[in-house]
Structure 1
């Protein structure tokens, strides 16, 4: 078996160019949407801190929950799914370079933290009486800021691709490919 044949056999699956571009487009649109929703929820949660009408506060947090359930949750899951497809179907890999691995950790952590904490905070904030500020409201502002930071950081990582290759990269490459660094 020649080195070329061995390289072709050990090569992992790669997305065809047209499919890669389609998945990348969906990934970018979902990520931008997620960031936009985070910005809206940040402004909304800040505005709810200063409202004195209980009905307005309740409506604001009900709208916040609607944004999360109908837009943010699907956008975050689409971003995660398309990111996994792109990292496994392109040269970057999940653990070949630091930046896709860090993006994965940021995305999973953001989804997990939000899914576990935000529903209770939203329910508590929606029940508050007028004029009072509760820790749940402040936590929701912090959660929205956390989303802006993590999704913004993931976007930055995608553009600048810092950090080089991971220590696992050399182990997952075939010997003939390692020699051609």
Structure 2
């Protein structure tokens, strides 16, 4: 298979994992709302416990894979990270989502597993995450706004980059399920390698500033 096919597979994996991420966020929102509304302690424990399991074994791996494939597509194609406002907006939103999901929402969800109703802040945060994912989907379809800058338009990365973009997150998901917690190690390595390649290409293609007249 050529570069185009592997790039299409990377886009397909990005779309599938992004939809899965949003679907699991909605599932979490539903379970947390049930846990908040129910007066039965057993139902609250069951709902929040199930939400925690979904967050650990489904939402987190899908979020990691979605973010990785999105970043990789920006780093490995002419789209880049800061050439278009809609791409830059998706990049910024994804970073906020990863930070909020890993350091805020997951911890709050773990603390809420018990007889007490889940806090409204956790429910609101989960709703915001699902809404942000829906907004990012619209950005990908509509591609609104103008370019941020013209800048250097880099060529598409070689085939091996997109092969790694497909197999790295799938491998990480498999390893994470075996370990019992998400571990996107291989995806991070592939992304760092491509970012270094991209940086070198930018340095090579950067126009040289002509020397000034001699004094």
Q: TM-score, normalised by structure 1?
A: 0.78
- Structure 1 position 77, deviation (Å): 0.8
Count of residue correspondences: 155
Question: Which position in structure 2 is the counterpart of 1:120?
Answer: 107
**1:100 equivalenced with 2:87 (yes/no):** yes
Give the equivalent residue in structure 1 for 2:167. none
Residue ranges of structure 1 left out of the alignment (5+ in a row) = 1-14, 177-181
Which residue is equivalent to 1:78? 65
Q: Which residue of 2 aligns with 1:110?
A: 97
Task: Report the Cα offset of residue 55 of structure 1.
Answer: 2.0
Cα distance in structure 2, aligned partners of 1:126 and 1:49: 12
Q: In the TM superposition, what is the alpha-carbon distance from 1:90 to its structure 2 partner?
A: 2.1
Question: How far did 1:51 drift?
Answer: 1.1
Residue 3 of structure 1 is matched in structure 2 by none
Residue deviations 1:7-43 (CA, integer Å, cap 9, x gap): xxxxxxxx92111100000000000001111111111
The TM-score, its normalising length taken from structure 2, stands at 0.66
Cross-structure match for 1:27:
14
- Compute the displacement of 1:160 (Å): 0.5
- Is the 8 Å Cα contact of residues 96 and 165 (structure 1) preserved in structure 2? yes
Structure-2 residue corresponding to 1:147: 129
Q: Which has the higher contact order (CA 8 A, sep 6+)?
A: 1
Deviation at 1:143, TM superposition (A): 1.5
Structure 1 runs of 4+ with >4 Å offset: 173-176
Closer, same or farther: CA 175–106 of 1 in aligned 2, 3 Å? closer
Alignment partner of 1:37 is 2:24:
yes
Please give the alpha-carbon distance, in whole angstroms, between the structure 2 residues aligned to 1:128 and 1:139: 17
Q: How well do the aligned residues superpose, as a CA RMSD in angstroms?
A: 2.0
Secondary structure, aligned partner of 1:20: helix
Mapped partners of 1:54, 1:42: distance in 2: 18
